[in-house]
Amino acid sequence: MKSDLLDALRTAVGAANVLTRDTHDLAAYERDWRQRAHGRALAVVRPGNTAEAAAVVRACAAHGATLVPQGGNTGLVVGSVPDDSGTQVVLSLQRMNQVRAIDHANLTMTVDAGCVLQAVQQAAEAEGLLFPLSLAAEGSCTIGGNLATNAGGTQVLRYGNARELCLGLEVVTPDGDVWNGLSGLRKDNTGYDLRDLFVGSEGTLGIITAATLKLYPQPAATLTAWASVPSLQAAVALLGLAQQRLASGLTGFEVMGQFALSLVDRHMPQLRVPLWQTAPYCVLLENSDSESEDHARTQFEGLLEAAIEQGLVSDAVVAESIAQAHGLWHIRENIPLAQAQEGLNIKHDISIPVSRIPAFCDDTDALLQREIPGVRLVNFGHLGDGNLHYNVQAPAGADAKNFLIEQEMWVNQLVFDQVARYDGSISAEHGVGSLKAEHLTHFKDPVALTMMRRIKQALDPHNRCNPGRVLLP
């Protein structure tokens, strides 16, 4: 067995693309991005095309081995690393990184699943087009992983999650068959939508090997503004005003709590965080205009003047250059890194109806501070689509590692109960992985869970694809 499987894998992809512990350091494939888990793989296999990926799946099926699909391994819910059994095969898609085609008239791009997100953005830009999916890990995450987790990011407000940006998929099934669904059609009513079934399934139903993605015309101008607001309620009202004034031009609306920004100021003073000391929250807005920069600036300035008159904004700055705009976004994107430098923390990726976010935060802040005196809350995220990264930091001076060990289960229960109370979701854009699989059994509708298990049983009856992720046995 073990040697027979390795021989079959080497036949499928070539000996140089089957990595084992005997000859290679596998740590980069076996540890998750947050260093929460360190598994042990039988082998890491790196196919170069779809046929090789299918051959790997068939070899594993024939030898009874389970597979863990992996892209950039930037996930935050421990969903793309092997367990510690030493029997699982990591199927790395990183060698499958080609842009297959760009169709200008159809506004689509077909790419391998291992394409890094930033490379896809750049390929679209080189053709005068836009692929709008954007997130902090875009320099290392891959399209396959983005689709497998239905990634969100900073422009969901205008363009939607990864699901909305995908028109078709190519998938290797758990039996090693290849489904070619790479249609660039926007209308196709011929039965069940298999694309939507695989998007967000986290590799538990099959392996995404390629995708056809939506493209858009490049905007004539993109402007960024940073505003301090007196409350979360004011931020929600500002969002409504911005939607009214800018309509579809509003492509980004991020909120950042004062403590979150204080961490960036403390650990990355070179970024020069504006306005954070004067208000409990700051908001980052992006306006993408189809006419001109002058038109965009006039719109932005009119919006901010009205917001200040209505008491929704205390102060604001509009970036005067691309470099300044990048600098403002860099502050937002570095909040997680600054929090990591502050110490280990308990992360939450939640969504709440936008209208209920102020009440949720008021109630949950008070609850946590009552239960854990001195606890610090790092609250930031995509207010425009109701997604908060509601993270919990140990009290100042406390041992962060012990805090994580002793309090994580209790804090998660408190926060998730509050999320349910406010009709939200415990996972907005990061997925479920293994980190939230147990919680899903308590916070997902039981009928939905039954249907999900039936789908898993129908497509992967032997539980070969990413077992223990999303759905527990």
Over range 132-149, report the average pLDDT: 95
For residues 88 and 154, state if they share a domain.
Answer: no
pLDDT at position 457, please?
97
Does residue 175 belong to any structural domain of this protein? yes
CATH number at 156 reads: 3.30.465.10
What is the phi/psi pair of residue 151, to 5°?
-60, 155
pLDDT at position 36, please?
83
Angle at 69 between CA 63 and CA 72, to 5 degrees: 150
pLDDT at position 2, please?
85
For residues 23 and 125, state if they share a domain.
Answer: no
Over range 291-301, report the average pLDDT: 92
Which of 307, 336, 365 represents a domain boundary (last residue)? 336
Sign of CA dihedral 399, 404, 410, 414: positive
What are the tens digits of pLDDT across the range 347-361?
999 999 999 999 999
Q: Name the band, by pLDDT with cuts 50, 70 and 90, for residue 463.
A: very high
Does residue 399 belong to any structural domain of this protein? no
425 and 349 Cβ atoms separated by less than 8 Å: no
State what percent of residues in the chain have pLDDT above 70. Answer: 100
Question: Residue 342 has which token pair?
Answer: 């502050």
Does residue 383 belong to any structural domain of this protein? no
Does residue 209 belong to any structural domain of this protein? yes
What are the tens digits of pLDDT across the range 152-166?
999 999 999 999 999
Over range 310-321, report the average pLDDT: 95
Does residue 211 belong to any structural domain of this protein? yes
What are the tens digits of pLDDT across the range 84-94?
999 999 999 99
Q: Which residues contact 199 (CB under 8 A, 6 or more apart)?
A: 147, 148, 150, 162, 163, 166, 169
Over range 426-435, report the average pLDDT: 95
For residues 53 and 108, state if they share a domain.
Answer: no
Expressed as residue numbers, the domain containing 251 is 221-336
For residues 80 and 110, state if they share a domain.
Answer: no
Over range 87-103, report the average pLDDT: 98
pLDDT at position 366, please?
98
> Structural domain tally of the chain?
3
401-410 own/partner pairs: CB under 8 Å, 24+ apart: 401/343, 401/344, 403/344, 404/344, 404/345, 404/346, 407/346, 407/372, 408/346, 410/371
The mean of the pLDDT values for the chain is 96
Question: Residue 16 has which token pair?
Answer: 């140089």
pLDDT at position 458, please?
97
Provide the residue type at 278 as one letter. T
Other C-beta atoms closer than 10 Å to the C-beta of 304 total: 23
82 and 73 Cβ atoms separated by less than 8 Å: no
Does residue 454 belong to any structural domain of this protein? no
What are the tens digits of pLDDT across the range 388-426?
999 999 999 999 999 999 999 999 999 999 999 999 999
Whole-model pTM?
0.94
- Is pLDDT of 144 > 90? yes
What are the tens digits of pLDDT across the range 15-68?
999 999 988 999 999 999 888 889 999 999 999 999 999 999 999 999 999 999
For residues 68 and 151, state if they share a domain.
Answer: no
Which of 268, 303, 336 represents a domain boundary (last residue)? 336
- Is pLDDT of 212 > 90? yes
What are the tens digits of pLDDT across the range 223-267?
999 999 999 999 999 999 999 999 999 999 999 999 999 999 999
CATH number at 31 reads: 3.30.43.10
Q: Tell me the residue length of the chain.
A: 473
Other C-beta atoms closer than 10 Å to the C-beta of 51 total: 14
For residues 301 and 241, state if they share a domain.
Answer: yes
Which of 51, 74, 92 represents a domain boundary (last residue)? 92
Does residue 458 belong to any structural domain of this protein? no
- Is pLDDT of 428 > 70? yes
Does residue 387 belong to any structural domain of this protein? no
pLDDT at position 1, please?
63
pLDDT at position 35, please?
83
